[in-house]
Amino acid sequence: MLNESTKKKIAISYIHFTIMCLIMFGFRFIPPFLSVTPVGMTVLGAFLGWLYGVCFSDMCLASLLGFIAISLTGIMPIADYYKAGFGNETVILIIFGMFFLGGLIAKFDLTNLLLKKIFQIKFLYKKPWILSGGLLILAYFTCVFTNPYIVVLFFYQIVITISQKADFKPFSMWPSMMIIGSTILASMAIIGMPYQGTVLLFMGIFSGVMGEMAIGWGAYMLWVNLIVIIGIVAYLIACRFIFRADISALNDLDASFFGEAEKATKEQKIALSLMALFVCLLLGFGFVPESWFIKSYLNAIGLAGLVMFCIILANIIHVDNKPFIGFIEMAVNGIQWNVFLLTAFSIPLMTILTNQETGIMASLTAVLTPVLNGHSPFVFIIIVLIVSVILTNCLNNMVVIMIMIPVLCGYAMEMNLNPALLITMLIITGYLAILLPAGSPLTAIMFSYKEWVNLKTVWLYGGLILVIWLLTMLIVGIPLGNWLF
């Protein structure tokens, strides 16, 4: 027998699914408004229904149903839509990248290994603020290369254990500072590298809107990670000198508190080496000069081909006369179907939304023009960043960014702004979802630790992070970005 709570959840899931269907297939019967055409109303219904499904229902079902809804719009033959989605190099890169990284991380428990190694770094101890900053930055890079959801849960527990040993009370400064700081860093880690699924999605939408223009991987990686590091250092400085936290109790902490870390196995060392090769190949792709003879071969293979090469290499390795890892193992453990289907559906969708035949972008521009026009480029950027931060704390951050990319690209070209930099700034602000549980799954997890953080502490330290990160992007990020991009 199902209990009442389970029955209620099932009922709610059916309600959300029904609403999604009504929006997708019923929106077309609403009379057109502004400059939206009848075709545009059909496309808009498919888009809004899909957005509702992504936020409140199942991402995979929303995307699959979206394909059906798009096929009824008549704006593009569905076979062409499939080709533009599933045949897009970004989508291929995402699926094989997930196979490779997810398979290695899951089979060889690399997240746990790296975290335990971090807490054995003796340099960090006897210096409370160095310890705090070092743990946050190292946890960030562990999130970047492994699973941020697992890392952040492990990190919360470590912070709570240390707090109990040092006699820090719940809601006091050090545990609040560390839990909230690690949550925002875990969120940043999702977009920290250009080969990650969500970043590839945003870059694919950007390229679809801008044509030949693309966001350089090397520039993106350097800019985002420098902003993250500068932002977290500034956050700790503010905590120390503005809030004047007393964390001297951490002076007595040393590496022995965490016990001996197990040595990495032969298989784990190979897995980490393969991951390092993967990162070097993908990031190094853009740095090879066109004049080098190897560049023509790299261009022919493409980024997806380089990922396939890494998968092949992992599959032909044997350790102690046993296969290191198999392709099926990688596929089963690594694939995230929600990201794959969402990307395959949304990349061509954004192209359709900007089609003049729909009238959607013309209507959106007419609504936004009074708000965004008449400002200097710098004030325009400030407004965009503030609006995106507000929206991402109330709505799904991925959805907010996807909606805003086509709009901002048009304004960037009109105002002679750097579109690659503007969209990169948008991506960061889109993941500053720290103030409300609705902002992101990571924030929802953080709010579940109500014995250690509450709304007051989240708004205090989370608000501090938002202000610092926005100022960092405006003061450091703009001149740095105009040089890099």
- Read off the pLDDT of residues 371-387 as tens digits, 9 standing for 90 and up: 767 778 888 888 888 88
CA-CA distance, 181 to 229, in Å (whole number)? 12
By the 8 A CB rule, do 178 and 132 touch?
yes
Q: How many CA atoms lie within 13 A of 246 on its CB side?
A: 5
By the 8 A CB rule, do 478 and 381 touch?
yes
Confidence of residue 475 (pLDDT cuts 50, 70, 90): very high
Confidence of residue 106 (pLDDT cuts 50, 70, 90): confident
Across the chain, mean pLDDT equals 84
Whole-model pTM: value is: 0.75
By the 8 A CB rule, do 434 and 458 touch?
yes
Tell me which residue of 31, 32, 35, 30 sits closest to 363, measured CA to CA.
35
Q: Which helix (H) or strand (E) holds 347?
A: helix 337-353
Say which residue, 315 or 283, is predicted with more confidence.
315
Q: What are the residues whose beta carbons fall under 8 Å from the beta carbon of 275, sequence distance 6 or more? A: 101, 104, 110, 145
Tell me which residue of 158, 53, 75 sits closest to 352, measured CA to CA.
75
Indicate the SS3 state at residue 319. strand
Say which residue, 58 or 289, is predicted with more confidence.
58
Q: Which DSSP string corresponds to 77-130?
A: -HHHHHHHHHT-HHHHHHHHHHHHHHHHHHHHTHHHHHHHHHTT-GGGTT-HHH
Residue in the structure block whose two tokens are 């990686």: 221
Measure the N-to-C terminal CA separation of the chain; round to a whole number of Å: 59
Residue in the structure block whose two tokens are 């395959």: 344
Indicate the SS3 state at residue 72. coil
- Read off the pLDDT of residues 39-56 as tens digits, 9 standing for 90 and up: 889 988 988 888 788 778
What is the residue extent of each domain of the chain? Answer: 1-75
By the 8 A CB rule, do 354 and 361 touch?
yes
- Read off the pLDDT of residues 412-464 as tens digits, 9 standing for 90 and up: 887 788 889 999 999 999 888 888 776 677 887 788 788 888 888 888 888 88
DSSP 462: I
Tokens standing for residue 415 = 């105002």
By the 8 A CB rule, do 116 and 262 touch?
yes
Q: What are the residues whose beta carbons fall under 8 Å from the beta carbon of 284, sequence distance 6 or more? A: none
Indicate the SS3 state at residue 318. strand
Give pLDDT, residue 415: 79
Could you list the beta-strand ranges (E) of 339-475.
none
CA dihedral 443, 349, 381, 477 (to 10 degrees): 70
Q: Which of 286-290, 339-343, 442-446 has the lowest mean pLDDT?
A: 286-290
Task: Give the number of other Cβ atoms within 10 Å of residue 142's Cβ.
Answer: 26
